Amino acid sequence: MLISRQARYSGLIDSLAFSEDELATGMASCGTWVAVNAKASALPAQLAAAKSAGVQRVFIHLCSDDPEDASLDAAGLESALSTCGMTYTLLRTGKLTEKGSGAGIKLGEVEQPVCDDVPKEDIFRFITEALTIPDANGRSFSLCPSTDDSQLKEMRFAGCSRREEVEALLKGQITEQAAKEEVAAADALTAEEVATSKAEEEASREDELKMLLERAKIRGIENQKRMKEEEDAKKVLREERAMYFKTSEPEDKKDGDEDGEGGGGSEETPPPPEEPKKPDDDDGLALA
């Protein structure tokens, strides 16, 4: 599923391995194990097999499609993962659907009630990116639809990549505004101190988000500048070629008329200017 959805665009297609053997045999010599739509009851034995096979990174995805999800012992599963001796991430979602993608999503506590349906495309993209983002290591959380997609839209409008979106979600920089207001209204224990602390934390998150947006903007300006320079260079080359072909043939005919023998004695016309060659790629591979 990951290959058909996200592995090709992310570069994982060259790193994933497939096997129809027993799990422990298939895991041999593998460094990372991704379990999509995993069964919680089977995980203890699977984790033991993964550790025995030398796996170092596990990413577990639980879905509300599994009947066991309703009675999930999240605390017990987190404890098993934290003591398994491998770097882990536990992700819990609602039912995966084919409909829609790119809408608002939010991170929540893994213990919270099962959330609404989520687009399969968005979840697979999140898993593919989070596999290699340190902020996902040693964490358990849910990923649910959000009614507030304003921050994601702002990042996309600024040219941020999907990986930067996942990083912002994991760092808590993208939150649901309505949810923040409910939490603020319910928490009235130490009003002034809590308000100050939240304001400082929010300001810090906003600063980081602004930095991401500014970086994306600068990248866009640099790309436009580079494209313009390339186009200008091509334009100059086209003009030089046009001048060459405009002047070379008439000169040949003129020389031929003067010699009376069809061009004897004329000087050889220099070849047209060539486009600058790009450096060869020694191994022929594109870096992801």
State the pLDDT confidence band at 184, using cuts at 50, 70 and 90. low
Any idea which fold 1-145 has? Answer: Rossmann fold (3.40.50)
- Considering only CA atoms, which of 22, 74, 73, 78 is closest in space to residue 52? 22
Q: What is the pLDDT of residue 284?
A: 42
Going along the chain, which residue ranges are E strands?
Answer: 32-35, 57-63, 87-93, 96-97, 105-108, 118-119, 139-145
Neighbours of 109 (CB within 10 A): 10
Give the residue range(s) of CATH 3.40.50.720 domains in the chain: 1-145
Give the pLDDT mean for 197-219: 82
Q: pTM score > 0.85 for this model? A: no
Percentage above 90 pLDDT, the chain = 12
Give the pLDDT mean for 27-36: 87
Would you say residue 104 has pLDDT above 50?
A: yes
More confident residue, 262 or 287: 262
State the pLDDT confidence band at 286, using cuts at 50, 70 and 90. very low
Residues 69, 95, 42, 84: is their CA dihedral positive or negative? negative
Q: What is the pLDDT of residue 288?
A: 33
State the pLDDT confidence band at 57, using cuts at 50, 70 and 90. very high
Kindly give the pairing relationship between strand 32-35 and strand 57-63. parallel
Radius of gyration of the chain measured on its C-alpha atoms: 29
Q: What is the pLDDT of residue 61?
A: 92
